[in-house]
Structure 1
């Protein structure tokens, strides 16, 4: 029954219960709806109604917004400009040679 949703659409499958269990489940169905309206977790398992109290944490799932601190409580921090921390992109892209060019220097005079 767990895999009945994997069957084709033209196949219908449901659980078979004895007649006395089916009658008991019909009676429990109204109680099930009442418990769910109260906010409790309720299911019918065979011929029993299982009710668990609703969890209070599930109602509000968002975080509490933090209260903004007052200005007088916290000391002001020094603000550094972002330009002081950045490097010049042209300095990083400039070609750097591993060897010195020889044609710019005068050759040694021969003696």
Structure 2
């Protein structure tokens, strides 16, 4: 979905509000997060979905939501830098999460 500019006059000079997705991103398939999932208290699945798809403005996520979003973006083959930028964390944090997930898989 391309970025659209919607005029909203607030005074004599009109201002513009940006809505849509990041224009720097190429159109890709969208990821839909199940909003009917249970057993995850404190998780705003719609906020996670918006971050995963890069819908602006990006909401702030708590730690549990950040890790869920990072897992989904990793499955969608985004780089650690891209994930870190959307989640407002350092790329090293994403690398640590990925290493922990790998250890979990090996231990199973």
Q: Which has the higher strand share?
A: 2
Q: TM-score range by the shorter chain?
A: under 0.3
Larger relative helix fraction:
2
What's the TM-score, normalizing by structure 2?
Answer: 0.20
Q: Relative contact order, CA 8 A, sep 6+: which one is greater?
A: 2
Find the structure with the greater CA-based Rg: 1
What is the TM-score of this pair, normalised by structure 1? 0.20
